[in-house]
Amino acid sequence: MYTERISGLQLFYLMTGYVLGTAMILGLGLDAKQDAWIFILVGMTSSLFLMAVYTQLAVYYPGDSLVEILPKVIGKFLAYPVILLYISHFTYSAARASRELGDLIVTTILSETPIFVVIASFMVLMIYCLRGGVETFARMAEIVFPIYIFSLILIWILLFSVDQFSIKNLTPIMGMGIMPVLKTAVPNAINFPFGETLAIMMLFPYLSNKKNTRRIGLSMILIGGILLTINSIMMISVLGPEFYSRDIFSLLAATQMVSVADFLERFDALVILMMVAGVFFKVGVFTFAAAVGISQLLRLKQYRSVLLGLGTIIPALSLVSASSYVEHIEFGFKFYVPYVLTILQIILPFLFLCIAFIRKKFGQL
By the 8 A CB rule, do 157 and 311 touch? no
131-181 residue pLDDT tens = 999 999 999 999 999 999 998 998 898 888 888 888 888 888 887 778 878
As a CATH number, domain 8-361 is 1.20.1740.10
Q: Which amino acid is at 105?
A: I
Per domain, the residue ranges of the chain are: 8-361
23-65 residue pLDDT tens = 877 778 878 888 889 999 999 999 999 999 999 999 999 889 9
320-336 residue pLDDT tens = 988 888 888 888 888 99
User: What's the pTM?
Assistant: 0.93
Q: Which residues contact 289 (CB under 8 A, 6 or more apart)?
A: 90, 199, 202, 203
Query: Cα 41 to the chain's mean position, in Å?
Result: 16
How far is residue 349's CA from residue 217's CA, in Å, rounded to a whole number? 15
By the 8 A CB rule, do 356 and 57 touch? yes
Q: Which residues contact 255 (CB under 8 A, 6 or more apart)?
A: 155, 158, 159, 267, 268, 270, 271
Alpha helices (H) in the chain, listed in sequence order = 8-26, 36-60, 66-74, 76-108, 115-130, 134-159, 178-185, 188-191, 213-239, 241-246, 250-255, 268-297, 304-320, 325-331, 341, 348-361
Q: What pLDDT was estimated at residue 365?
A: 52
Count CA within 13 A, CB hemisphere, residue 354: 6
By the 8 A CB rule, do 198 and 289 touch? no
Q: What pLDDT was estimated at residue 127?
A: 94
176 or 127, greater pLDDT: 127
Average pLDDT of the segment spanning 206-230: 92
Reply yes or no on whether the pLDDT at 364 is more than 60.
no
> How confident is residue 261, by pLDDT bands cut at 50, 70 and 90?
low
> How confident is residue 2, by pLDDT bands cut at 50, 70 and 90?
low
175-186 residue pLDDT tens = 777 887 888 888
